[in-house]
Amino acid sequence: MRGFIDFWIKAKGYGFIHDNEKTVRYFAHISAVQNDVIPATGNLVEFEPGVTARGPIATNIRVLDKAETIAALSFLGGGAL
């Protein structure tokens, strides 16, 4: 699934991801990030959605690089995010 970092608190190592439809907000922790990139607000990401007792959670998060982000935005019509 793809989404974007809604906001990220670098000092605490967590934030939230919205899916592309902006219907669900997933908790994200730095330990779930698979590539060596520190997420930042606005980054496009791929992740696996999950659910815990506390709510939706993102696992296996991969921050997309600039080329992947541009390709995804082009595919989505340029302004879908």
* Mean local confidence (pLDDT), 13-37: 93
| Alpha-carbon span 59 to 17, nearest angstrom | 11
- pLDDT recorded at residue 21: 84
pLDDT in tens, 52-74: 999 999 999 999 987 776 666 66
User: Average pLDDT, whole number, for the chain?
Assistant: 88
Q: Which residue has the higher pLDDT, 61 or 81?
A: 61
| Alpha-carbon span 7 to 54, nearest angstrom | 19
Q: What structural domains does the chain harbor?
A: 2-75 (2.40.50.140)
Does pTM top 0.85 for this prediction? no
